[in-house]
Structure 1
Amino acid sequence: MSLQPEVTQRDLRNRSKEIMDAVAHGRAFTVTRNGHQIGELIPIRRHRRFVSRAEFAAMSRNAPPVDLEAFRADQEAVLDEYQDDPYER
């Protein structure tokens, strides 16, 4: 059973603009034919926008400084914690 609303093949044909507008706004549908689920209509993922080096630098100016030694120590602590656990990989 699907958690998203179902739309019949006939409804998709007759109400395609309404249904596609809903998909464009983030809704997903399961398509049915003769009572059987045959497919899904899902919105495509939005591609991330390119950020130029200058824009990134401008956004980063107000970021707090990073203590590289403390950062590395935190990474090592986490790696050591799971190193011997075969189920954490």
Structure 2
Amino acid sequence: MSVQPEITQRDLRNRSREIMDAIQGGQSFTVTRDGHPIGQLVPLRRRRRFVSREEFAAMSRTAPGIDLQTFRADQETTADTAPDDPYAR
């Protein structure tokens, strides 16, 4: 994770268009006043984009492995295996 660049309140006022364009491009900023952080400017989440099969495969190669036995044991301990009776009170 990268560190957000700091901008002063004056920079925000004087360079607002440039800063807003950077935010629209995905950049985040920490706004300071008198050398103290007072807020953050962050881009809004965008709609999820399509991920190609090749890109998904590349991301999956670096994902941590899953131990199947541990996964199934976790499911057994958390899943309710008895069906609910809608007429039981």
Mapped to 2, the partners of 1:11 and 1:36 lie a distance apart of 14
**Cα gap change, 1:48/1:82 in structure 2, threshold over 3 Å: closer, same or farther?**
closer
1:24 & 1:3 partners in 2: Cα distance? 18
Question: How much does 1:82 deviate?
Answer: 7.2
Cα distance, 1:78 vs. partner? Answer: 1.3
Percent identity over the alignment is 59
- Counterpart in the other structure of 2:36: 36
- Structure 1 moving runs of 4+ over 6 Å: none
Q: 2:40 is paired with a residue of what secondary structure?
A: strand
Which residues in structure 2 correspond to 1:1-89 (within 5 Å)?
A: 3-48=3-48, 78-80=71-73
TM-score (norm 2): 0.55
Q: Quote the Cα distance in structure 2 between the aligned partners of 1:44 and 1:82.
A: 35
Computed over aligned residues only, the root mean square deviation of the Cα atoms, in angstroms, reads 3.0
Aligned residues: 59
Aligned mates of 1:32, 1:77 — CA distance in 2: 47
Q: CA deviation at 1:83?
A: 5.8
Superposed CA deviations along residues 12-40 of structure 1, whole A, max 9, x for unmatched, are 00000000000000000000001000000
Tell me, in whole angstroms, the C-alpha distance in 2 between the residues paired with 1:26 and 1:36.
23
| Aligned equivalents of 1:32, 1:4: Cα separation in 2 | 12
How much does 1:76 deviate? 7.7
